[in-house]
Copies of this chain bind each other. A is one copy, B any other.
Amino acid sequence: MALDDRKLDVLRAIVEDYVATQEPVGSRALVERHSLGVSPATVRNDMAVLEEEGYIRQPHTSAGRVPTDRGYRLFVDRLSKVKPLSPAERRAIERFLVGAVDLDDVVHRAVRLLAQLTRQVAVVQYPSLARSSVRHLELVPVSTTRLLIVMITDTGRVEQRIVELPEPTSVEDVENLTRALNEKLVGSKLVDTPPLVAELAEQANLNQPAMNALAVVLLETLVERHEERITIAGTANLARFHTPLDLAGSLRPVLEALEEEVILLKLFDQVKAGSAIVRIGDENEVADLRTTSVVSTGYGPGSTVVGGLGVLGPTRMDYPANIATVRAVARYVGDLLTQH
């Protein structure tokens, strides 16, 4: 059976009220707080249908209704209106991010800002190495058999690693290698660098082929390892919701999941720039997060994506507001990266 407009209105009202009050909402309360223009009895009939269709449910017989995951999904897809940020929030975002001095700082501030504005757990992924490109490489001899390689990417991220050399190498050789590497690699995407380095290694005029071989290994580990870093903030916000109703009474599995980087990375699997994706309750693949919802999006200079960010909280969350905030923060962070 198709849901007519009023039933959808009822569903929207239920979601909004439940999110606001955190309590099952009954028919009387509903008509009082929203001008639906019909009596409670009519609303009850509509509710019965909505329940049959799986959009809402009753925690127990003599209680009001609560949205199901499916109900939230419908709400997010078709019923919620975009909630523009308040000027205060907009200002908060600007003020908070403007003072950032380097990439670490941007990410750090962004994650705290998100947590503060949404009052949820915020998660921000550092700009992914693989998706950014090389701006500069520097080789610093630490001893005759040790090199520090420092790589700067176009997103401002700096990675470094110590390399052990198979044989002592002169400072001149290191300088030559630095020059060659920079000529060859600057501007190319990081994922593309290993073959380029391999090419370099074949060039006979570069002394120390052994050293080149090493550079290959090094770059590979640079690209593969340590790959994706992530920070979170606002876990304390979870405790605010520690009621049997949401989070099913146990936030421990959620806290545990939040400590697993692998799990966090999954949150940003399919993010795109500009539009947010919302995963509601069961839609999350990770079992421990089945009682939570995730709002995430991608960010990067322009419309490219070099990382993801988002918030996580009980399914009972203010989706329109969180979506707006997440997108706004992502845009500001992206802008900061371009300025960089």
Contacts and interface: CB of A to CB of B under 8 A. Distances in A.
Given A136-B142, A140-B138, A161-B101, A239 B259 contact: no
Interface range for A: 35 or more
A230 to B, nearest CB: 12
Q: What is the interface of chain A mostly: helix, strand, loop, or mixed? A: mixed
Contacts of A340: 162
Interface in A65-87: none
A235 B251 contact: no
Contacts of A251: 239
A60 interface: no
Interface string A237-261: 0111010000000111001101100
Interface in A139-192: 140, 142, 148, 150, 152, 156, 158, 160-162
Contacts of A225: 101
A170 to B, nearest CB: 17
Interface string A326-340: 000000000000001
A135 interface: yes
A135 B143 CA distance: 11
Interface of A: 101-102, 104-105, 135-136, 138, 140, 142, 148, 150, 152, 156, 158, 160-162, 221, 225-226, 233-236, 238-240, 242, 250-252, 255-256, 258-259, 340
22 contacts: A101-B162, A102-B162, A104-B226, A138-B138, A138-B140, A148-B158, A150-B150, A150-B160, A152-B160, A156-B162, A158-B158, A158-B160, A234-B259, A235-B235, A235-B255, A235-B259, A236-B255, A236-B258, A236-B259, A239-B251, A239-B252, A240-B252
